[in-house]
Structure 1
Protein backbone atom coordinates (compact mmCIF):
# COMPACT_ATOMS: atom_id res chain seq x y z
CA UNK A 1 0.00 0.00 0.00
CA UNK A 2 1.27 3.48 -0.85
CA UNK A 3 0.70 6.63 1.12
CA UNK A 4 0.96 10.38 0.53
CA UNK A 5 0.16 13.54 2.47
CA UNK A 6 -1.94 16.55 1.45
CA UNK A 7 0.04 19.80 1.82
CA UNK A 8 -1.25 23.13 3.11
CA UNK A 9 -1.81 24.10 -0.54
CA UNK A 10 -4.00 21.01 -1.10
CA UNK A 11 -1.37 19.21 -3.15
CA UNK A 12 -0.03 15.69 -2.88
CA UNK A 13 2.67 13.64 -4.56
CA UNK A 14 1.74 10.42 -6.30
CA UNK A 15 4.12 7.81 -4.88
CA UNK A 16 6.85 6.59 -7.27
CA UNK A 17 5.58 2.98 -7.36
CA UNK A 18 2.10 4.21 -8.37
CA UNK A 19 3.52 6.55 -11.06
CA UNK A 20 5.54 3.65 -12.44
CA UNK A 21 2.55 1.28 -12.44
CA UNK A 22 0.34 3.73 -14.39
CA UNK A 23 3.07 5.09 -16.63
CA UNK A 24 2.59 8.49 -15.03
CA UNK A 25 4.74 11.28 -16.40
CA UNK A 26 4.49 15.05 -15.94
CA UNK A 27 1.19 16.12 -17.46
CA UNK A 28 -0.63 12.82 -16.76
CA UNK A 29 -4.22 13.66 -15.82
CA UNK A 30 -5.97 11.91 -12.95
CA UNK A 31 -9.74 11.76 -12.40
CA UNK A 32 -10.91 11.61 -8.78
CA UNK A 33 -14.25 10.16 -7.61
CA UNK A 34 -15.55 10.35 -4.03
CA UNK A 35 -17.19 7.07 -2.99
CA UNK A 36 -19.20 6.21 0.09
CA UNK A 37 -17.52 5.54 3.42
CA UNK A 38 -14.67 8.01 2.91
CA UNK A 39 -13.22 6.08 -0.03
CA UNK A 40 -11.76 7.55 -3.20
CA UNK A 41 -11.31 6.18 -6.69
CA UNK A 42 -8.57 7.67 -8.84
CA UNK A 43 -8.13 6.73 -12.48
CA UNK A 44 -5.79 7.81 -15.22
CA UNK A 45 -7.45 9.93 -17.88
CA UNK A 46 -5.72 8.46 -20.92
CA UNK A 47 -7.43 10.23 -23.78
CA UNK A 48 -9.99 12.95 -24.33
CA UNK A 49 -13.15 12.41 -26.37
CA UNK A 50 -11.62 14.53 -29.14
CA UNK A 51 -8.60 12.21 -29.33
CA UNK A 52 -10.73 9.07 -29.81
CA UNK A 53 -13.26 10.59 -32.21
CA UNK A 54 -13.48 8.46 -35.34
CA UNK A 55 -11.35 5.62 -33.96
CA UNK A 56 -14.13 3.08 -34.61
CA UNK A 57 -15.52 2.94 -38.12
CA UNK A 58 -18.97 1.54 -38.95
CA UNK A 59 -18.81 -1.57 -41.15
CA UNK A 60 -19.91 -0.89 -44.73
CA UNK A 61 -23.62 -1.20 -45.25
CA UNK A 62 -24.47 -1.08 -41.52
CA UNK A 63 -25.00 2.65 -41.05
CA UNK A 64 -28.27 3.70 -39.43
CA UNK A 65 -29.85 7.10 -39.07
CA UNK A 66 -30.78 8.16 -35.53
CA UNK A 67 -34.47 7.82 -36.35
CA UNK A 68 -33.87 4.16 -37.29
CA UNK A 69 -32.28 3.46 -33.90
CA UNK A 70 -35.25 4.68 -31.90
CA UNK A 71 -37.70 1.99 -30.70
Structure 2
Protein backbone atom coordinates (compact mmCIF):
# COMPACT_ATOMS: atom_id res chain seq x y z
CA UNK A 1 0.00 0.00 0.00
CA UNK A 2 1.08 3.53 -0.64
CA UNK A 3 0.28 6.32 1.81
CA UNK A 4 -1.08 9.39 0.02
CA UNK A 5 -0.28 13.04 0.86
CA UNK A 6 -3.11 13.13 3.43
CA UNK A 7 -1.80 10.04 5.25
CA UNK A 8 -4.50 7.76 3.87
CA UNK A 9 -4.30 4.21 2.58
CA UNK A 10 -6.88 1.95 1.00
CA UNK A 11 -7.77 -1.13 3.06
CA UNK A 12 -7.71 -4.10 0.67
CA UNK A 13 -11.11 -5.64 -0.11
CA UNK A 14 -10.09 -9.03 1.31
CA UNK A 15 -9.29 -7.38 4.66
CA UNK A 16 -12.53 -5.34 4.62
CA UNK A 17 -14.51 -8.49 3.89
CA UNK A 18 -12.71 -10.45 6.61
CA UNK A 19 -13.44 -7.80 9.25
CA UNK A 20 -16.87 -6.85 7.92
CA UNK A 21 -15.78 -3.25 7.33
CA UNK A 22 -18.13 -1.20 5.15
CA UNK A 23 -18.47 2.49 4.36
CA UNK A 24 -18.96 4.36 7.61
CA UNK A 25 -17.37 1.65 9.80
CA UNK A 26 -15.09 2.83 12.59
CA UNK A 27 -11.72 1.12 12.88
CA UNK A 28 -8.81 1.34 15.30
CA UNK A 29 -5.12 0.72 14.94
CA UNK A 30 -3.54 -0.89 17.99
CA UNK A 31 0.07 -1.68 18.70
CA UNK A 32 0.63 -5.27 19.76
CA UNK A 33 3.11 -6.39 22.39
CA UNK A 34 5.39 -7.58 19.58
CA UNK A 35 5.42 -4.12 17.98
CA UNK A 36 3.08 -5.00 15.12
CA UNK A 37 0.15 -2.71 14.40
CA UNK A 38 -3.25 -4.39 14.25
CA UNK A 39 -6.39 -3.11 12.51
CA UNK A 40 -9.64 -3.87 14.36
CA UNK A 41 -13.27 -2.81 14.18
CA UNK A 42 -13.87 -0.17 16.85
CA UNK A 43 -17.47 -1.28 17.47
CA UNK A 44 -16.33 -4.77 18.52
CA UNK A 45 -18.77 -6.49 16.19
CA UNK A 46 -17.60 -9.58 14.39
CA UNK A 47 -18.85 -10.45 10.92
CA UNK A 48 -20.95 -13.58 10.52
CA UNK A 49 -18.98 -16.69 9.69
CA UNK A 50 -19.61 -18.32 6.34
CA UNK A 51 -21.46 -21.04 8.26
CA UNK A 52 -23.75 -18.58 10.03
CA UNK A 53 -24.51 -16.86 6.70
CA UNK A 54 -25.75 -20.16 5.28
CA UNK A 55 -27.91 -21.10 8.28
CA UNK A 56 -31.44 -21.69 7.02
CA UNK A 57 -30.45 -21.64 3.33
CA UNK A 58 -30.16 -25.38 2.78
CA UNK A 59 -33.79 -25.82 1.87
CA UNK A 60 -35.51 -28.60 -0.01
CA UNK A 61 -33.94 -29.55 -3.30
CA UNK A 62 -30.24 -29.06 -2.49
CA UNK A 63 -28.01 -32.08 -2.79
CA UNK A 64 -25.36 -32.91 -0.21
CA UNK A 65 -22.67 -31.75 -2.66
CA UNK A 66 -24.45 -28.41 -3.14
CA UNK A 67 -24.76 -27.93 0.62
CA UNK A 68 -21.07 -28.73 1.10
CA UNK A 69 -20.13 -26.26 -1.65
CA UNK A 70 -22.14 -23.55 0.13
CA UNK A 71 -20.45 -24.31 3.43
CA UNK A 72 -16.98 -24.31 1.87
CA UNK A 73 -17.63 -21.01 0.12
CA UNK A 74 -17.00 -22.47 -3.32
TM-score by length of 1: 0.50
Once the 2 structures are TM-superposed, how far is the Cα of residue 35 of structure 1 from its aligned partner? 3.5
Once the 2 structures are TM-superposed, how far is the Cα of residue 44 of structure 1 from its aligned partner? 0.6
With a CA cutoff of 8 Å and minimum separation of 6, indicate the structure with the bigger relative contact order.
2
Runs of 4+ in 1 over 3 A off after TM superposition: 35-38
Query: Are 2:6 and 1:9 aligned?
Result: yes
In the alignment of these two chains, the number of paired residues is 44
Q: Where does structure 2 lack aligned partners over 5 or more consecutive residues?
A: 45-74
TM-score by length of 2: 0.49
- Cα RMSD for the two superposed structures: 1.9
Which residue does 1:28 correspond to in 2? 25
Q: Deviations over 1:13-57 (max 9, x none)?
A: 10011111111111111111124565201111125xxxxxxxxxx
